[in-house]
Amino acid sequence: MKLPVRNALILFLAASIWGTAFVAQRLGMDYVGPFTFNAARYLAGGLVLVPVILFRRQVLHVRAFRPSRNLQAGIFCGLFLFAASSLQQAALLTTDVGKAGFLTAMYIILVPVFHFFMGRPSGIRLWISVAIAAAGLYFLSVQGGFYLERGDLLLILCAGVFSLHILCVDHFSPDTDPVIISSLQFFTAAALSLAFALPLEEIGLPALAGAAWPILYAGIFSCGVAYTCQIIGQKGADPSYASLILSLESVISVLSGFLILGQALTARELLGCGLMFLAILLVQLPEGKREAEAGKTSP
């Protein structure tokens, strides 16, 4: 078995938390602005991982690699995380939770596309997936004439920046501690979000108290718990199968938006969601031997 049942369940838990976090992110902005919300949730996410780091070092004796390398990785990853999450939060002011989840999931398509332009070509299936995703994006986002709503454009940019974030994590991961990187990137994103929130938004204790539950859920569970579940679930698992289960985050976001917020998608938008999900499934399936060899020899 390339993905044991235990790993699959843990990864599904991470995807479920991330999917329902879209609801928390939307509800939280009924009280505070997007930068304030991000500053609070990333601070909570960074703090909740500190005991985990101490436990791993003191009890499990996990080596932390080079501190300077961890710091560099945390700062760079935090920059991308801040940019992506800021775009996402701003988009959620005008975009449904379900649509936001599917458009954000475009990073699963964009990462291999970026790999191609970085000199790592892939097989024909990648380009078929991109075409299917583009069709899905049209049905999902384009209403009437050929135009995109403001929130949809922000989410497309968000997916692109999240792709860069994933590539950044991939670059630093071989010689750094993943939990330390996670905590440092949360603190970096929190500091940058606060720097923008102070001059642009009103920050008051009553508003923060009103958004407390969404902030705590998005911070502790989405940032801290879900990230830890991802690390545990991916240990020893085939990454293709693991990422396929994690991509269910977008499906969970649709269901949570419908069940909790009462947001329903039209038939046209549901078709777009279905096409995008098909593209995600297609690009995440394991490659056959011939296809893998074709990708390696592509110009």
Q: Using CA atoms, how far apart are residues 108 and 279, in angstroms rounded to an integer?
A: 9
Q: Using CA atoms, how far apart are residues 5 and 152, in angstroms rounded to an integer?
A: 36
Residue 121 pLDDT class (50, 70, 90 cuts): low
The pLDDT assigned to 161 comes to 92
Closest to 200 in 3D by CA, of 50, 54, 37, 76: 37
Closest to 247 in 3D by CA, of 133, 79, 146, 113: 133
DSSP code string of 78-116 = HHHHHHHHHHHHHHTTTS-HHHHHHHHTTHHHHHHHHHH
Residues 6+ apart with CB under 8 A from 127: none
Bigger pLDDT: 223 vs 125 = 223
Q: Say if CB 280 and CB 105 are below 8 A apart.
A: yes
The pLDDT assigned to 46 comes to 94
Place of tokens 């940058």: 192
- Which DSSP symbol is given to 174? G
The pLDDT assigned to 244 comes to 63
Residue 18 pLDDT class (50, 70, 90 cuts): confident
Mean pLDDT over 177-198 rounds to 92
Q: Is the pLDDT of residue 127 over 70?
A: yes
Mean pLDDT over 180-188 rounds to 91
Bigger pLDDT: 294 vs 171 = 171
The pLDDT assigned to 283 comes to 64
- pLDDT tens-digit series, residues 52-109: 888 888 877 676 667 888 899 899 999 999 999 899 888 877 777 667 777 777 777 7
Bigger pLDDT: 245 vs 121 = 245
**Domain boundaries of the chain, sorted by first residue:** 5-297
Bigger pLDDT: 70 vs 287 = 70
Among residues of the chain, what percentage have pLDDT more than 90?
20
Bigger pLDDT: 143 vs 103 = 103
Mean pLDDT over 249-261 rounds to 70
**Least confidently predicted of 115-129, 157-171, 205-219:** 115-129
CA torsion sign for 17, 245, 72, 85 is: negative
* φ/ψ (deg, to 5) at 120: -120, 75
- pLDDT tens-digit series, residues 189-240: 999 999 999 999 988 899 999 999 999 998 999 888 887 777 677 665 555 5
Bigger pLDDT: 173 vs 52 = 52
| Amino acid of residue 16 | S
Closest to 110 in 3D by CA, of 283, 287, 297: 283
CA-based Rg of the chain, rounded to a whole angstrom? 19
Bigger pLDDT: 149 vs 80 = 80
The pLDDT assigned to 116 comes to 75
Strand extents, DSSP E, the chain: none
Q: Is the pLDDT of residue 174 over 80?
A: no
Among residues of the chain, what percentage have pLDDT more than 70?
79
The pLDDT assigned to 230 comes to 73
Average pLDDT of the chain? 78
Q: Say if CB 104 and CB 162 are below 8 A apart.
A: yes
Q: Using CA atoms, how far apart are residues 191 and 231, in angstroms rounded to an integer?
A: 25
